[in-house]
Amino acid sequence: MAQASRFANKNVIVTGGASGIGRATVIRLTAEGGHVLAVDLDESGLNETVSLAQATADHGGRVSAICASITDETAVRQTVQDFVREHGQLHALINMAGVLRSSHTTDTDFQTFMQVVQINLGGTFLFCREALPYLVESKGNIVNAASTSAFFGHAYMAAYSASKGGVAALTQALSREYMNRGVRVNAVAPGGIATPMVAAQANSFPEGVDFSLYQHLTRPDRQLGEPQEVAAAIAMLASDDGAFINGAILRIDGGTHG
Ligand SMILES: NC(=O)c1ccc[n+]([C@@H]2O[C@H](COP(=O)([O-])OP(=O)(O)OC[C@H]3O[C@@H](n4cnc5c(N)ncnc54)[C@H](O)[C@@H]3O)[C@@H](O)[C@H]2O)c1
C-alpha cells in the first residue's frame, strides 16, 4: 500500500532500529520519504533493517545505519553531529532502543537494576540532550519509548517499569522546557507488542512467577499488537499531523489497560 509522504526531505534518527518497533519505524518513515539513520548495537539486525527499508523506500526516502550504544556519550554526540553535518538539519529523533529484564525484585542485583535504567532512561536522555540544539533550529520533535509498565504495574519488572516511568517524566519535562522554542516532545506507551523483546521475555520469566498478575496485559481476542501499529502512531506524532501534540504519552495497547 502506498504511504503518505509526510517525511519527504525530513532527516530523522531512530535508535533501536535493528529490531521490533524501531525497525518498523525506520521502514515506515523511509516509505514516507524520510532520510533515516538507524542506530543500534546489533550490526546484523541493522543490515537487515536497511535492506527491508530500501525495498519499500518511496518519495525519495533513504536509509543508513550506525552501530553504536546509546549509553556511549561520545558516540551519541558524534552520531548526532555527523548526521547533521551530512544532512544539514535534524527534524526528528525517535528513541526506541531499550532492554527488558524480569526477575523477582528481591533477586534483582543493583547492577542489573542500574543497567536497565542506564540504557532505557540514560540513553534516551543522552540522545535528547545532543539532538535538542538541532531540533530547536529545525522546530523538530522527539518521540520516546515509554511503556504501559510505567503506569499500570507490571510485576517482576521493577527496573524496567521504573526506567519507563523515568522516560515518561523526562518526556513531559522536556516538552514543557522546549515548548516555547518550537520543539515537541512526546512518547508512545505500548502494551504487549509482538517483537523479539517480548518473545525473549516469554522464555525468561523467573521460577515461581504468578502469571495471573499479567491478566491486564492481554485481551481474549488478540494477545499482542504489531510493531507496525506502533510505528504508525510514531509517524503521526513525529509528522506535522501531530503539530499540536506535545507532552503526550500515547497508550497503544488495544485498550487492555484501560
Ligand atoms: N514490545 C513491547 O511490548 C514494548 C512495550 C512497551 C515498550 N516497549 C519499548 O519499545 C522499544 C522497542 O522495543 P522492541 O519491543 O522493539 O524491542 P527489541 O528488543 O525488538 O528492540 C530493541 C532494540 O534496542 C537495541 N538496543 C538495546 N540496547 C541498546 C543500546 N545500549 N544501544 C543501542 N541499541 C540498543 C537492541 O539491540 C534492539 O535492536 C523499547 O524501548 C521497549 O522498551 C516495547
From the list 161, 168, 162, the residue with the least C-alpha distance to 142 is 168
**Does 1 have pLDDT greater than 80?**
no
> How does residue 3 score in pLDDT terms, banded at 50, 70 and 90?
confident
65 Cβ closer than 6 Å to some ligand 1 atom? no
Distance between CA atoms of 141 and 89, rounded to whole angstroms? 12
Q: Which residue's CA is the nearest one to ligand 1's atom 23?
A: 16
pLDDT for res 115:
98
> How does residue 158 score in pLDDT terms, banded at 50, 70 and 90?
very high
Provide the Cα torsion 164, 238, 40, 152; round to 10°. Answer: 20
229 Cβ closer than 6 Å to some ligand 1 atom? no
**Does 194 have pLDDT greater than 80?**
yes
Say whether 178 is catalytic: no
Element (H, E) at 94: strand 92-95
The residue-averaged pLDDT of 236-249 equals 98
Residue 113 Cα to ligand 1 midpoint, Å, equals 16
**Does 2 have pLDDT greater than 70?**
no
Tens of pLDDT, residues 36-46: 999 999 999 99
96 Cβ closer than 6 Å to some ligand 1 atom? yes
The number of the ligand 1 atom at minimal distance from the alpha carbon of 230 is 10
| Amino acid at the residue 119 | I
Residue 180 Cα to ligand 1 midpoint, Å, equals 31
**Candidates 15, 19, 154: which one to mutate for ligand 1, based on the most atoms within 8 Å of Cβ?**
19
The residue-averaged pLDDT of 143-149 equals 98
* Higher local confidence (pLDDT), 223 or 23: 23
Tens of pLDDT, residues 57-104: 999 999 999 999 999 999 999 999 999 999 999 999 999 999 999 999
| pTM metric for this prediction | 0.98
Q: Which residue's CA is the nearest one to ligand 1's atom 27?
A: 98
**Candidates 41, 95, 197: which one to mutate for ligand 1, based on the most atoms within 8 Å of Cβ?**
197
pLDDT for res 219:
79
Distance between CA atoms of 210 and 137, rounded to whole angstroms? 50
34 Cβ closer than 6 Å to some ligand 1 atom? no
Q: Which residue's CA is the nearest one to ligand 1's atom 44?
A: 190
Distance between CA atoms of 44 and 54, rounded to whole angstroms? 15
From the list 176, 192, 185, 172, the residue with the least C-alpha distance to 251 is 192
**Does 123 have pLDDT greater than 90?**
yes
* Higher local confidence (pLDDT), 1 or 171: 171
**Does 193 have pLDDT greater than 90?**
yes
Which is it for the CA torsion 46, 27, 116, 237, positive or negative? positive
In the CATH hierarchy, which fold is given to the domain comprising 11-251?
Answer: Rossmann fold (3.40.50)
* Higher local confidence (pLDDT), 120 or 1: 120
